[in-house]
Amino acid sequence: MKEFTSKTLESLFSLEGKTGIVTGASSGIGKEIANILVDAGATVYDLSLILCDETNQNIIRKQIDVTDKEAMKAAIDTIGKSSGIDFLINNAGITKRVKAQDVDSAWWDKIHEVNVDALFFASQFAYPYLRASKNVGRIVNISSMAAYMGFSEVVPYCSTKSAVTGITRGLSVEWAKDNVLVNSISPGWFQSEMNKQVIDDERNKKMLGKVTLGRYGDLKEIAYMALFLVSNASTYITGQDFSVDGGARAFGY
């Protein structure tokens, strides 16, 4: 039984021989995703603006601004032509707290450039290599509960994450016959560096009060969902968003 189970798990979740990209993989959710995918056998390219000093022979780190389209296309082409691309995890994102009436056009443009435009164009640049994957090409976009719920003082962020889920559905339909599956993950509340920027004690109490499980998630719990979505266990899933939120969206009273 143990031998059978081992073979089954390996056939479903091993990423041995697969290569992919995780944007913003030098910290937070992206870093945990990259580490889990490498543990499963993948080679991961981390495309981040600020690189961490953590070394792992199967994580190749490249410093890059994801909003620099020319640099991103060049980096993705280099990866694709040298080793192929089996998956792309669009994780890089930004946010900050600012009242809606005080949002200026510079911040509105910047957050959409990072969270929406960069995600779309990275997907576009990776498309020919994902389509040519010997496996099934995968795109996993990191969205947010903010795509579904209204939160004060982060309206631009809510806008970007609603756009991410829309892009996910649209690409999944358009590329369905091109060997590319496109899904997204909407994290609930995790103690990431991004969340620390917008959560104070009052918000912390309100948020945890609406989480069915009553706790923050562990970053590994997001990474496991990413592993599932790029693995052989999810070959009939596309155009879906997966809420990893401790039951927050289901919570009533």
Q: What is the pLDDT along the chain (253 residues), one digit of tens a residue?
A: 466 678 999 999 999 999 999 999 999 999 999 999 999 999 999 999 999 888 888 999 999 999 999 999 999 999 999 999 999 999 999 999 999 999 999 999 999 999 999 999 999 999 999 999 999 999 999 999 999 999 899 999 999 999 999 999 999 999 999 999 999 999 998 876 666 665 667 777 777 788 889 898 999 999 999 999 999 999 999 999 999 999 999 887 6
**Residue 250 domain-assigned (yes or no):** no
Q: What is the dihedral of CA 214, 151, 32, 235, to 10 degrees?
A: 90
Instruction: Give the domain CATH number at 127.
Output: 3.40.50.720
Provide the pLDDT for residue 64: 97
Please check whether residue 249 lies inside any domain of the structure: no
Question: Which letter does DSSP use for residue 234 in this model?
Answer: G
Give the full edge-to-edge strand order of the sheet including 19-23.
59-63, 43-48, 19-23, 87-90, 137-142, 180-187, 241-244
Dihedral of alpha carbons 182, 124, 193, 145, sign: negative
Question: Is residue 222 one of the residues assigned to a domain?
Answer: yes
Please indicate, yes or no, if residue 11 is contained in any of the structural domains: yes
Range of the domain at 59: 2-243
Name the nearest CA neighbour of 47 among 96, 91, 113.
91
pTM assigned to the model: 0.93
Instruction: Confirm whether 248 is domain-assigned.
Output: no
What does the pLDDT read at residue 197? 60
Residue 36 neighbours by CB under 8 Å, 6+ apart: 220, 223, 224, 226, 227
Distance CA 133, CA 175 (A): 13
Q: Is 142 exposed, middle or buried (CB count within 10 Å of its CB: 0-12, 13-18, 19+)?
A: buried
Q: Alpha-carbon distance 236 to 176, whole Å?
A: 11
Tell me whether residue 100 is in a domain.
yes
pLDDT at 154: 95
Phi and psi torsions of 167, nearest 5°: -60, -40
Asked if the structure places residue 253 within a domain, the reply is: no
Radius of gyration of the chain (CA): 18
Distance CA 221, CA 187 (A): 9
Residue 163's Cβ-side half-sphere holds a number of Cα atoms within 13 Å equal to 17
Type of residue at 17 = G
Three-state SS at 75? helix
Q: Give me the helices (H) in 45-175, please.
A: 69-83, 105-112, 118-131, 155-174
Residue 190 lies in a domain: yes
Structural domains counted in the chain: 1
Residue 20, strand partner residues: 44, 87
What is the pLDDT at residue 65?
98
Query: Do residues 248 and 215 touch, judged by C-beta distance below 8 A?
Result: no
Which sequence positions are flagged as catalytic?
Answer: 157
